[in-house]
Chain A
Amino acid sequence: MSAAAIRETWLVFHHTTRISLRHKVGLLVAAVQPLFFLVLFGPIFATFGDWETLVPGLIVQLGLLSAGLAGFGIVFDWRSGVLERQRVTPASRLALLLGRVLNNAFTLVIQTVLLVAAAYALGLRAPLAGVLAAMVLVVVLGVSLAALSYAAALTLDEYLFAPVMTTAVVPLMLLSGAFLPMSMAPGWLEALSRVSPFRHVLEAMRELFAGHYWNATVATGLAVVVVFTAVSLVIGARVFHRENA
């Protein structure tokens, strides 16, 4: 990326983040569902499992509901003409995408901090270092989910985007093992879930929350999320470059 494109990415990130922080209700909306799970499902889970297993699952759920549905924002910008207006400037189109995507990742971090804080109040005892290391995965995951969400939003019919995405999120959540570890699943379902990148990221986060900072699971999770993000960004950038986007 050129210096100009980095500057443009920062400008778009700064601008969109200022807007996100101003709309505090919007910031909370995506976090409401995982918080319900934490408060109304967590205590049941805690009778046979531990909070360090559940909370990373809720973080993945949050990622899917927050960054995963970021495409709603781009539909808004597209409809109001903001996107086209910015596309006639000499700014790099990749920067117009990246600035927005980084804002979505930043928003996801704020929401995750809220969720983890609430979880500590309920009984989570993960080491701080583990939580911080997991945050790195959250940022990368947020970038990839938002980029894919934008690609889907700009490709699908605008009236299809909402039903398709809100539905797609459900199997992605279940297959990641967000609510119950996949080790409890029958063989075929367990095998199916291995295809999901979210499962690998989630298991890495569980290890980090358990205080295991470096093992094969963490390494796999990290590798999967990095590859997944690279692929997502390429897809997002291609869609953003397309002339009718």
Chain B
Amino acid sequence: MLTTKGLGKTFKSGVEAVRGVDLHVDEGEIVGFLGPNGAGKTTTMRMLTTLLTPTSGSATVAGHDLLTDPRAIRRRVGYVSQHGGLSPASPAGEELELHAMLYGLPRPAARARVAEVLARLELTGLESTPGAALSGGQQRRFDIAFGLVHDPVLLFLDEPTTGLDPQSRANLWSHVRALREGGTTVFLTTHYLDEADALCDRIVIIDHGVVAAEGTPSQLKSGGRTLDQAFLDITGRSLREEVPA
């Protein structure tokens, strides 16, 4: 579903955000992409979703070459950015319908698809609510609805639960798990080790722009250490530096 070889990005400013990442994600997996702040998580994800052009390496995403056929990739993958993409002032359902139509769906099909995705994410009835009037959890589920409305085979979620209360997080987790049951492959970044532990089949840890470790949560926890300890051992840093030790 996703394979990269030495994927790297050096910005024009000279900053080497990603030095060379090798990734492999199988169909139907939920893979967590972890790393300290500034490790290159978001830059990698923005390359994989065609928003940034890599400066080195190669990748195949959803069966298409990242460098030669980005538009075919866009058709088949969904991306939910860290900050979402809801318009604060216009009805969320209208935005979603336009979004579906930009993927080529005719209006009636787009409407049907929007209704289906909203029902799946328990958002039915909120179509005419502007983004700013939705709760944090509802906003995040709408963001995910944008990523799902064209039925992608691979969904990228950048920090899907940051800023949500524990209840909304648990609710979102159940929706992500349900995606896998529907056959969608999920690649997500997270700041929460408990989230990676609970949700992911496999975890890839990135540090200083390269993959530092990868494995199933239980492999990483081998030797009786917690995932936090494992992370600290691998990167020398705590995942959430903003939290005092």
Interface residues in chain A, defined as those with a beta carbon under 8 Å from any beta carbon in chain B: 4, 8, 11-12, 15, 18-19, 23, 77, 80-82, 84-91, 243
Contact = CB atoms under 8 A, between A and B. Distances in A.
A90 B51 contact: no
Contact of A80 (B71, B77, B87): B87
B1 to A, nearest CB: 17
Contacts of B236: none
B79 interface: yes
B87 A84 contact: no
A18 B91 CA distance: 11
Contacts of A87: 51
A4 B104 contact: yes
Contacts of B58: none
Given A12-B98, A15-B98, A88 B86 contact: no
27 contacts: A11-B98, A11-B101, A11-B102, A18-B94, A23-B89, A77-B87, A80-B86, A80-B88, A80-B131, A81-B81, A81-B84, A81-B85, A82-B85, A84-B81, A84-B85, A85-B79, A85-B81, A85-B85, A85-B99, A86-B85, A86-B99, A88-B49, A89-B99, A89-B102, A90-B102, A90-B103, A243-B53
Contacts of A91: 102-103
A233 to B, nearest CB: 20
A164 B157 CA distance: 37
Contacts of B77: 88
A82 B95 contact: yes
Contacts of B85: 80-82, 84-86
B145 to A, nearest CB: 11
- B-side interface size class: 20 to 34
A77 B87 CA distance: 7
Contacts of A86: 85, 99, 102
Interface in B37-57: 49-53
Given A4-B104, A12-B98, A88 B90 contact: no
B75 interface: yes
Interface of B: 49-53, 71-72, 74-75, 77-79, 81, 83-90, 94-95, 98-99, 101-104, 131, 146, 150
Nearest to B84: A81
Most buried by B among A77, A81, A89, A243: A89
B148 to A, nearest CB: 13
Nearest to A8: B102
A85 B83 CA distance: 10
Contacts of A82: 85-87, 95
A24 B71 CA distance: 37
Contacts of A12: 98, 102
Most buried by B among A12, A81, A86: A81
A87 B86 CA distance: 14
Instruction: State the 4 A-B residue pairs at the shortest beta-carbon distance, nearest first.
Output: A85-B85, A81-B85, A91-B102, A89-B102
A89 B148 CA distance: 11
A19 B146 contact: no
B52 A243 contact: yes
Contacts of B101: 11
B10 to A, nearest CB: 13
A87 B103 CA distance: 11
Given A81-B85, A85-B85, A243-B51, A90 B98 contact: no
